[in-house]
Structure 1
Amino acid sequence: MKQFEYKTVEIKPKGTWRSKFDIVEIDKILNQYGKDGWELISMEDKNFGYGNTECFYYTFKREI
């Protein structure tokens, strides 16, 4: 039977108003996890209302 381990990573926006996400930096982070054998299985935003995203949670899994 396959077994997996899971990891959740929080990525926050940068900038004064917390509205800027650096796509290049996010790709760099996601690619590094991929190289380490992690597979992205979900992404969820944390929203405090008014359409403002506080951060994103990326959840990965890999076989152990």
Structure 2
Amino acid sequence: MANYEYKVIEVKPGGFWGTILEPEKIETSLNALATEGWELVNSIDINGASYGQTSKVMFIFKRLREF
């Protein structure tokens, strides 16, 4: 049976209203993790209390654990 390790990355929107996500920066981060062997398995949009705005996005990764 394969053993995995997991990593969770949190990205918070920026800008005055907290509504700006920068896809280019996220893509760069995702590609950097991929070169380290991390595979993106899920992403979760966490909504804030006001008007359903995104308060953060959680990215969940896994990779084979090395012994």
Instruction: State the TM-score, normalizing by the size of structure 1.
Output: 0.94
Distance in 2, Cα, partners of 1:14 & 1:35: 26
Q: Could you tell me which runs of 5 or more consecutive residues in structure 1 were left unpaired when the two chains were aligned.
A: none
Larger radius of gyration: 2
Q: Could you tell me which runs of 5 or more consecutive residues in structure 2 were left unpaired when the two chains were aligned.
A: none
Q: CA RMSD in A?
A: 0.8
Structure 1 residue 44: Cα displacement: 0.2
4+ residue runs of structure 1 moved beyond 6 angstroms? none
Q: Give the equivalent residue in structure 2 for 1:29.
A: 29
Instruction: State the TM-score, normalizing by the size of structure 2.
Output: 0.90
Distance in 2, Cα, partners of 1:8 & 1:44: 11
**Number of residue equivalences:** 64
Distance in 1, Cα, partners of 2:14 & 2:31: 20
Q: Give the equivalent residue in structure 2 for 1:19.
A: 19
Q: Give the equivalent residue in structure 2 for 1:60.
A: 61
